[in-house]
Every structure is written in C-alpha cells, then in structure tokens.
Structure 1
Amino acid sequence: MSVRRTNRFLPHAVTREDRADGTVLLTSDYPLGPVARTTGEWLDNWANTAPTRTFVAERSGKGWREQSYSETLQKVQGIASALLGRGMGANTPIVIMSGNGVDHALLALAAQYVGIPVVPLAEQYSLVAAAHGRLQQAFELIRPKMVYAIDAAQYSAALSLDLFDGVEVVTSHNATSAMTSFDALVAGDAAADLNAAHALVGPDTVAKILMTSGSTSVPKGVLTTHRMLCVNQTQLADTLPFLREHPPRIVDWLPWNHVFGGSHNFNLMLANGGSLYIDDGKPAPGVFDRTIENLRMVTGTMCFNVPVGFQLLLGALQSDQSLRQRFFENLDMIFYAGASLPQDVWEGFEEMAMEVKGCVPLMTSSWGLTETAPALLLQQEPTDRSGVVGVPVPDATLKLIPNDTNRFEVRAKGPNVMGAYFNAPDKTAAAFDEEGFFITGDAMQFVDAADVNKGLKFDGRISEDFKLLTGTWVRAAQLRIDMLACLAPLAADLVITGADKNQIGLMIFPNTAALKDSGFDLSETGGALTDQALHAEIKSRLGAHAVGASSSTRVARAIVLATPPSMPDGEMTAKGNLNFRKILTGRADMLTRLYNTPDPAVITL
C-alpha cells in the first residue's frame, strides 16, 4: 500500500556535540517561543478571546456537562477566593483523592490561580481498601490542609481513616454536616483580595506536587512549577504546528494523577484554547464500550492512548464504518505512550486513515518523566515505524553517556526539568549529576548513529538489565516490549526473568478476556494456567521469535500466572506499571517453578 503522510510538521533539526569521553550532547536547533507566565494566564486569555468555547466536559446522563472558558474562569475565581478566605497559600496543599472530572479541574485551576499547590492522587488509593497504605504514605508526606473527593458516600471508607484531623473535606455529592459542599467553594469569598494573590503567582510558584509511580522506590513528590508546565506547552506547540492552526479537541481517559494525562494532555487543551472531553471509559474489560459510546458522540483532532487501547480501538473502527469516518476526518495526530505500538496495529491505522482521508496523520510518541513535565523528546516528523521517541524539544539538552555499543544512559537539563523533590533533600541531591543534569535512569539508542535527526528509540531502564550465568547481558525492557508484541493479545503484561540463571524466562499475566474469546481454558493448578492448547500457542510464538535470536533475546521458558498483579501488594502502581522486583520477590515460588522441570505449568522450548 502506498502511504501519503501528513505534510503539516516541523522537520527534525538537532545539533550534536561529541565529548572526548564519548558523551554526546543533543539540542534542538529551534528556538523556544514565548512562554506564558502561569497556567492562569492561559485561562484568562481564552476566557477573553473564546469565552463560549467548551474547555472541559464530562458525561452527564445521555449528554455532556460542558464548561465554557468564561464559565470556567468565573468558577475558578470564585473557588480561588474561597480558598484565600480560609488563609490558604503555598504551604497549604490540597489533595485531590478522586479521578478526572469537571469539579476536579475547577479546583485544581483555582488553586493554581492563587499559588496553592494541588496533589492529585490515584483514585485507587482511596477506593481499594488494601491500597489505603499508599494513601496514608501520601498524607504523611504532604500534610494537606484540604482534600477533595467527588462523592462522600463513594469515598466513605477512605474518609473514615484516621487521616483527616484538621483537614477540611470538600465533596461534590453527599456531603455530611462536617464536610464542605463544592458549591459552597464556588460561591466564593467577596472579602478575599483575589487580584493581589493572582498577581503574586509567578513561574517559580509550585503549581502541583505529582507523586512518582513508586515502581522502583517509595513514591516521591515532584515539585512542579508553573514554569515547568508553561515551558513544556510552548515546546510542544513550537514543534507541532497544527496546535496553533485550529483549536485542538480530545476525548481522553488518561488519569490526571499521572503527568501524561494531567500535565501533558490537560494543559495541551488549556494552553491552545482546546476542548477536553473526559472519557469515563478506559481500555479494560467491561468499560471500553463506554469509550466507543463517547467517541460516537464526540471525536477529537488528536488521539492519545496506550498500545492496548489502540488495539481495542482498531477493532472497533474496523467494524464500524460511520465511526471510522468521523474518527479520522479531522484527526491531526495519533499519539501512543507507555510502550511501543505493535506494528500491525500501526499499519491498521495507516490503512484506515488512507481510506478515509487519503493521508496519514502524524503517528508519533515522545519520552519524558514526571520530573520533566513531561516531554523531553518528541518524534515531531512522520516515521514509518513504531518505537521511535524522537529528538529533544527546544531549549532542552540531552546528555547521553555511553553504556554499550550505540546504547546510552540518558540525563537531561532544561527549564521544564524539576528543581527538587518535596521535603526530600537527599533524594534531590542524588537525582542530579555534577553538571546539574537530571539522572533519568533510562537508556536510549540512535535510530541511525550516522544521522541524529533520525531520532532516538527507548532502550529500557538501566536498573532493569541483568546478566545470565553465562555473563550475557539481557536488556529486559526492550525484550519485554518485543515479547508483548509477540504474545499479543494473549499477554496483558509480563516480567522478564533470568538474573543469575542459564536461560531467559517469562512470567506472563494473561489477558483473560482475549483468552476466553479464543476458547482457551482458564483452569489453574497452583496459581498457574495449564491449558495445553494455550501452552502450545505460546510455545509456537516463542519458537518463531527464537529463530536466529541470540542468547540475550532467546526466551526458553514461560509460565502463565493465574492471578493479576496486585496494587495493594505493590506489584503494580496506580499508573498500571509493574514493579518487577516486588513481583519476583513476592512470587518467588512461581519463579522457582519456572526454572524447575518437569512441571506441567512451565512452557519450555
């Protein structure tokens, strides 16, 4: 198939500096454009220039509860004055316990409008009883003055914990006499000097404290300033020209406690006068149908998702011509994150785009961290392959330290990089090198070592690599991505094993919905699935992958786990990331079985 790609992009233009020790510095040749002073400046601007345009919306009955820019500003100012009337400021953070919603957005923007930090937490910390320990950890670190939960009844178990002495609880629904209704905040406080407080907010004011995932250590609080957020949006708009051509629109489920959904996507709409329709579905069994229902009502100019979400969406679009037409007709960009998009899914979207509009929108990804607000690298020009994360955004410097042939440890510096963790001076000091570069712990490879403008591709976490007993290094992160593609859609996720072993193995968390659809038996023995037909299918796929593979990429054994990763036990973070160390230690019995043969639960090549 001949593919015509969008011509609305800014070509890569990168300067490379090579040091004598092999270190490489990369910077963008594009200058950084004008940067807003605060997030409130965006809101003021669009409420003035596009007052009736929808900023944020959530499902309400058969339709949407929509807030225009002018309505948003009016309510934000009311809430902000109420917060000031309580004496709140930079040292009285607000914890938001519930997920994405209009009232969540209004409260967060109101706090930022007058310099009060907000701390959005994963709603699972409150709604899953076994995860209340994570909630307690966050409270002990943050010591909030106020908390918000959308529904007091829904969050009653968490709200009954011994955490709320001296903390004002605000809720939108079912408030008790001891709580504050959200409407009371919106009513405001006429005595507060709103304009004076707003004027004092500047680039160095903390806008939010974002908790890291906790996949490798206890979660840390990232002090995220207005400068970080505002610079990052200018960096994105400078490299994605269509953002300034017309107001963007997204239908998005990605959680706001995470930097991707809450800083990248949320602010992408606010900074560019766009509209954010909150998708109350997600790519999971039983709720993805809600996503399709929402997309039948509203479609976006951009689509953000994780690979499994795009896999599900591809199937839905292939079976619904009307939805396919509406989905692609105004689409500027398809953006995946979290892992590489399987190439067959990539090509499926290309084919449909060509069918509907005769060209393919920008299909892309980027790379960054909670500490970088988040975008540091962006694939801003079209490519024909998945897995490329691009080149540095304007005014950011990437420092690449040789780790192996064509493999580099990544460090970063720029105005979108954090200055410190909250109340953690030791962790802050350890996070930066002697030149002030943030130590990310990630690794990259050049797509083409002779041409830096071809970009970089992610090559895993340095800490996840391990050696086999033979001395062979295994790059676990990249192999995991390859294995997820190899076993799709049978595997929901997996862990690469083999440290101090002779062979590489897999501990597979199955996609039970896909297994049921394929007719496989989900019966278990001792915590593992033993269906011989399933084992044969996995063995066949692993065997095909092993042809021509080296010992560093050849998987020799696997076990399919019967129970999913547990967030309460720390095996999975609220963002859906696996904590590999927790899994390997917490399921040591399964790891032992994996390397003991014969065992009917173990698949061997």
Structure 2
Amino acid sequence: MGNAERRLDSEPRMFAAPSIEALKRDDGAIILRSRMKLQPAARCTGEWLETWARTAPDRTFLAERRGETWTWLTYGETLTQVRAAAAWMLAQGLSPERPLAILSDNSIAHAVLALAAQHVGIPVCAISPAYSLMSTDHEKLRAMIRLLDPGAIFVAAHGPFARALAAIEGLHRAVIISGDGEGMNSVALQAVLSTKPGPGVDRAFAAVTPDTIAKLLFTSGSTGQPKAVINTHRMLTMSQQAKGQLWTFLREIEGGPVIVDWLPWSHTFGANHNFNLVLAHGGSIYIDGGKPAPGLFETSLANLRSMVPTIYFNVPRGFDMLVAALKADDDLRHRFFSGVKCILYAAAALPHNLWDALNEMSLATIGRPAPLVSAWGATETSPLATDCHFFAERAGNIGVPIPGTELKLVPTGEKLEVRVRGPNVMPGYWKAPEITAAAFDEEGFYKIGDAVKLADPEHPERGLFFDGRITEDFKLSSGTWVNVGALRVAGIAALAPLAQDIVIAGHGTDEVHFLIVPNIAACRSEAALADTASVGEVLAHPAVREAIARGLAKLRIEAVGSSRYATRALLIAEPPSLDAGEITDKGYINQRAVLTRRANLVAMLQDEAAADVIRPASKD
C-alpha cells in the first residue's frame, strides 16, 4: 500500500469496499462480477425530477452564467417547465418514432427540453454542436438527421445555426424550436414553455417503463456512418443506482453534489454520468460555458473561482490546463482542493505527470493527496461498466465491475479483450439490426473493442488497467507488439507540455515513430515568441525542436524495449480534422484515421533524408 493510499484510508470512508469474484473458464476467459447485489432503481429518469421537485422544490438544480452573474432554475421550477414543454411535444406528435433533436450545447433550455422529452416517453438526441458549427460540409449532421427523422429540432439561437439548418432542409419534417425566437417558420422557445399541461402529460409519464427509450446518442467513432445508440431508462437509472451504492459519500453531502461542468450532453460522460449523477442525488449543476481549449479555458477558471464543486470531472486535456492554472493561482488552488471531495478523470488515460502534480499540490495545500479516481465504459454501456471506488496508487486504474454488470476477459493475442453484459448495456443501435447483431457475442456480451489487464491476477478487487484498443495495436517487423494506448500516455508525459496528443506510427517497420499534435501555446512559450507568430514559425523554432528531442531521449532512457519509445517524430502543423474523422469534438484522436489521411507524413518519418523529422537528443 502506497503513502497516498494509507493517508486516504485514514480519512472517513468515501466508497463501498470492492468485493469481486473471478471465474476462470476452461476456454481461457475470465468472468468478473461484483459480489454486491444491485438494488432496485427508479422506474425512469422523470422519477428523479419528480422526487426532488416534491422534497426540495427551492433547491438550485440548474445554473448558467450570463456575464458576471449566475441565473438558475430550482427543482420545482424545472418540473413546471418540463411539464409545459412535454405537453407541447405531445401536441406536436413527437413520439418514440419521432424524437427530439438538440443541436445546441449545454444550457438550461437544453436540459429542460431533454428532460421534458424523457418525461413523456419521447427519445431525445443531443447532437454535438461541432457537427453544425465546426463542420464545413455538414455531411455527418445530414446523415444523423436522415436517420433520426425527428419531430422537433432545437437550436439556442437561429443565427449561428443558420448554415446547418439550411444544410438539412428537406431531410426532415421537424418543427424548429429557436431559443431566441428568430428564424422563419420556427417556434420560439418561450411559446413552448408557455404551454399549459393537461392530463395527457400525467398519462404519458405513467406509461414510461424501464424499457422505454430515453435517448439516442451518437457514438464518437470517426469512421463509417454515424450509429445512434439506444439508451433506455433502465440503462440510465440502473447505472446511477450502482454509482450510489459504490460512492457512499454522495448521500452524505448536504444539499446534494455540486458540479461545475463543461462536458457535453451530446456524449455519455457528460450526460449519462455527470448530469444524471446530480439529478439522481438532488444536487446542483453549474453549466460551464468554457472548455479545455485556448481562449475558452479562462471561462472555466472564472467559473471555478465563482463556484467550487464538490465533485470535479474532466478529461486529461482539461487536467493538463487545470494543473498549470492551479500552480499559478494560490487562492484558486486552496479553494479547489479544500472544496472538492472527489476528482474523476475518464474518457482517456491520465498521464502520470498530471496524476503526480495533482497529488503533490493537494498534499501541500490541504495536507492530504487528492482523491483521484476513474471509471470506464462506453456510450453503449450508459456509460458506467467499471468504477474505481477505491484510492488507487497510480494513474490508469479503471476499477472493477459495478454491481449487476459482468465483464468477460477473452485472451486475444497477447492481450485480454474485455466484453460487457448487464442492465446498463444497450439493446442495440437505432434502425441498424445487422450492426447490432455483430456488436454482441454468442453469450450476449457487448464487444467493446478495448483490452484490459488485472492489477493483481490473484486479487481482482485491486482493479483493472486499460490496455488500449484491440484494433489500434500493431507489430513491428521484429514481431514485437506496440501497445498504442500505453505508449501514447507515456509519450505525452515525456513531451509535456508541448504535445497535446500523439499518433503512433511504425506498422510493419523496424521502429516506432510519432506524429505529434502540438500544444501551440506551450510551444510558443518554449520559443519565447509573440502571440502573433505563425504556427509554421513556432514549430520550426530550434527551441521547440530541441525540447521535443530531449523529451524523446527521456522516453528512450526510461523505456524497456524498442516498442516503448519513438526514434523519430514529426510535428503536425495542420490540426486534426473533424470532417475527416481524425478527431472528435471532445478532442480525442482517431489513430487509424490520422495515419490514413496523413500517409505522406508517415512516409516522411521513414525517409532518412527528411529534414523536418526530429530524433531523440544524443546522450551527451
């Protein structure tokens, strides 16, 4: 047991102790399940809202910042607006076959409309705003709308979405709801919220069952046509029931958990995990209009200075920027570590340098390490499949299966492929029976495509470590496997803070190579260049190239074996493309798509004479 674990165990217990059974089968597979029985869950997500509107009607549920002040909606006010919007949707003919589509980002209006649809058995589909506002061809948005055939489409303001709405014109029969009331043939949001609910709303709410579709979420996958994952009410409520049984401290927070969160509700992490955790436990959501991107993270910091959360969620890129901000701001650092009871990272592995930095700052600030935990799952598992409800000694532990969920670890090459079965797993993809059938094995386990490894094969309760995507790993010409997931994390840490992300190349060759997505702001600082310096000037600067070379050398010194370091690297000047499927709107890299689209750069890495290639610095 490490020092951090010993210190945290001296604090009041926050989590239920993990108790896991492992069944080793003759075919080599291992079945993992929790010994904790999953208790009955709410019938539907609307029961959560009804409960808190009745027992804590004046408690803040939703808040968003306008200028310097927060505006908010209580639980009682939220239910009133939800019932009004639900009445309007029923009158317009929205149904399980004609869902509500939301094109806009997180907001109070977004939440109210989404909850209204779910309240009366209408599926809601939040589509990432990136497909409307960042895309240049809108092809994925067009494909999504064709698949959905929505009954209504919501945009927060007509102007910014005018091009997207024009691109999908003629592909749907939906009524357009406009938050600002602008746009020809659109209905103003205020008119929707002014509808008088009748007994039909109550009848529709009573008719919702655990098998009713609550929402459709498009996968973050970047290849092929978009797939809409069916999320039933059972999936969502069972997931939060398991979370509440494992995170026992949630029931002890007076007034419920408070989060300040930017993670988009068009994705399962922000919506099904974070939003629903607060709703299920009667807490408050302060909607963060920022995100971990240059020019936007300042908004997130301003929000954290205004409202300290009790639980903090983010992705590794967000923690990278947060660590830098906490180091530079004594007051924010003290407020943050004093107020936050639990910090959860997910969606990608947290580099060890960030794990260490958060623990060291927390120890120096409040006398104990930060309670850092993680979880793992997918859109198809709503999303919780494993939860690290214990204090791990190092980054990367994704925990153990949650109550009611089984994992099957299947030997695949040199790895253990993980598959999932349980009430949290989707019934299938919307209008895609063949793709659905291919997603499950003969025993009904969802084939998620990830690999894991046991922290201790003799003690499964000590958790699992994510071991990369099965399809991303490759062999060098020597026959040695390259673990892309682990090497990516190690590379980002060695090159910190200059590498925002890394794509691993070298399939079938003698050596591993890196395509580096640079952190332009950090590179500009390294080169001591003005903000007006071009990207080309920044990446070509000797100080940047030398720093990258030193980072590559550090990785080589620390590595054991040729598959764990890169001998050559290139800095990518053109950012990964959303339309080309190289990156999701949350910033996650699709390794295969980048390698395919940038085959010329991959070839350059193999060219001995290429001048732009960076090699590890020499030992002397």
Query: Does 1:124 find its partner at 2:130?
Result: yes
Query: Does 1:66 find its partner at 2:76?
Result: no
Cα contact 2:217–2:379 (8 A) shared by 1: yes
The CA distance in 1 between the partners of 2:579 and 2:63, in whole Å, is 32
Cα contact 1:131–1:567 (8 A) shared by 2: no
The CA distance in 1 between the partners of 2:202 and 2:195, in whole Å, is 14
Q: Secondary structure at the match of 1:309?
A: helix
- The match for 2:346 among 330, 333, 337 is 337
Alignment of 1:218-233 (within 5 A): 218-233=225-240
One-letter amino acid of the counterpart of residue 420, structure 1: G
Alignment of 1:357-506 (within 5 A): 357-404=366-413, 407-506=415-514
Cα contact 1:520–1:534 (8 A) shared by 2: no
- The match for 1:137 among 128, 138, 143 is 143
Q: Secondary structure at the match of 1:286?
A: coil
One-letter amino acid of the counterpart of residue 590, structure 2: N
Cα contact 2:31–2:408 (8 A) shared by 1: yes
Query: Does 1:258 find its partner at 2:267?
Result: yes
Q: Kindly tell me: are residues 556 and 91 of structure 1, through their superposed partners in 2, closer, same or farther at Cα, counting changes over 3 Å? A: same
The CA distance in 1 between the partners of 2:570 and 2:363, in whole Å, is 40
**Stretch moving more, 66-75 or 573-582:** 573-582
The CA distance in 1 between the partners of 2:156 and 2:290, in whole Å, is 17
One-letter amino acid of the counterpart of residue 243, structure 1: L
One-letter amino acid of the counterpart of residue 436, structure 2: T
Counterpart of 1:209? Answer: 216
Query: Does 1:544 find its partner at 2:554?
Result: yes
Alignment of 1:307-346 (within 5 A): 307-346=316-355
The CA distance in 1 between the partners of 2:77 and 2:197, in whole Å, is 18
The CA distance in 2 between the partners of 1:61 and 1:524, in whole Å, is 32
Query: Does 1:20 find its partner at 2:9?
Result: no
Counterpart of 1:565? Answer: 576
Q: Secondary structure at the match of 2:562?
A: coil
- Deviation per CA, 1:147-200: give whole Å up to 9, x if none: 000001121111222435522000111423411001111112445611111110
Cα contact 2:103–2:128 (8 A) shared by 1: yes
- Deviation per CA, 1:448-498: give whole Å up to 9, x if none: 122111110000010011111222221212211111111111011111001
Cα contact 1:281–1:288 (8 A) shared by 2: yes
Cα contact 2:408–2:420 (8 A) shared by 1: yes
The CA distance in 2 between the partners of 1:587 and 1:458, in whole Å, is 27
One-letter amino acid of the counterpart of residue 25, structure 1: I
The CA distance in 2 between the partners of 1:50 and 1:523, in whole Å, is 54
**Stretch moving more, 332-341 or 104-113:** 332-341
Counterpart of 2:543? Answer: 533
Cα contact 2:98–2:148 (8 A) shared by 1: no
Query: Does 1:603 find its partner at 2:614?
Result: yes
**Stretch moving more, 117-126 or 357-366:** 357-366
One-letter amino acid of the counterpart of residue 485, structure 2: A
- Deviation per CA, 1:322-360: give whole Å up to 9, x if none: 222222223211111132223232233223333444334
Alignment of 1:17-166 (within 5 A): 17-164=23-170, 165-166=172-173
- Deviation per CA, 1:5-56: give whole Å up to 9, x if none: 1432222210010001211000001111230000000000000111111111
The CA distance in 2 between the partners of 1:114 and 1:595, in whole Å, is 58
One-letter amino acid of the counterpart of residue 252, structure 2: E
Cα contact 1:85–1:191 (8 A) shared by 2: no
- The number of aligned residues is 603
Cα contact 2:175–2:186 (8 A) shared by 1: yes
- Deviation per CA, 1:262-312: give whole Å up to 9, x if none: 111000000000100001111111111111111111110000011221122
Gaps of at least 5 residues in structure 2 are none
The CA distance in 2 between the partners of 1:540 and 1:339, in whole Å, is 25
Counterpart of 1:574? Answer: 585
Q: Kindly tell me: are residues 315 and 250 of structure 1, through their superposed partners in 2, closer, same or farther at Cα, counting changes over 3 Å? A: same
The CA distance in 2 between the partners of 1:439 and 1:275, in whole Å, is 35
One-letter amino acid of the counterpart of residue 103, structure 1: A
Q: TM-score, normalised by structure 2?
A: 0.94
CA displacement at 1:554 relative to structure 2: 2.8
The CA distance in 2 between the partners of 1:453 and 1:394, in whole Å, is 13
Counterpart of 2:294? Answer: 285
The CA distance in 2 between the partners of 1:540 and 1:569, in whole Å, is 32
- The match for 1:588 among 565, 576, 599 is 599
Q: Secondary structure at the match of 2:426?
A: coil
Cα contact 2:84–2:194 (8 A) shared by 1: yes
Counterpart of 2:518? Answer: 510
The CA distance in 2 between the partners of 1:363 and 1:517, in whole Å, is 29
The CA distance in 1 between the partners of 2:135 and 2:593, in whole Å, is 19
The CA distance in 1 between the partners of 2:485 and 2:273, in whole Å, is 24
CA displacement at 1:569 relative to structure 2: 2.0
The CA distance in 2 between the partners of 1:530 and 1:325, in whole Å, is 39
Cα contact 1:484–1:491 (8 A) shared by 2: yes
- The match for 1:195 among 202, 211, 223 is 202
The CA distance in 2 between the partners of 1:45 and 1:470, in whole Å, is 61
Cα contact 2:341–2:371 (8 A) shared by 1: yes
Cα contact 1:529–1:601 (8 A) shared by 2: no
One-letter amino acid of the counterpart of residue 457, structure 1: F
One-letter amino acid of the counterpart of residue 285, structure 1: P
Q: Kindly tell me: are residues 364 and 131 of structure 1, through their superposed partners in 2, closer, same or farther at Cα, counting changes over 3 Å? A: farther
The CA distance in 2 between the partners of 1:177 and 1:595, in whole Å, is 55
- Deviation per CA, 1:545-565: give whole Å up to 9, x if none: 213521222311111111110
**Aligned residues with identical type, % of pairs:** 42
Cα contact 2:527–2:541 (8 A) shared by 1: no
Counterpart of 1:238? Answer: 245
Cα contact 2:472–2:592 (8 A) shared by 1: no
Give the alignment's Cα RMSD to 1 decimal: 1.8
Cα contact 2:358–2:370 (8 A) shared by 1: no
Cα contact 2:142–2:168 (8 A) shared by 1: no
Q: Secondary structure at the match of 2:607?
A: coil
Gaps of at least 5 residues in structure 1 are none
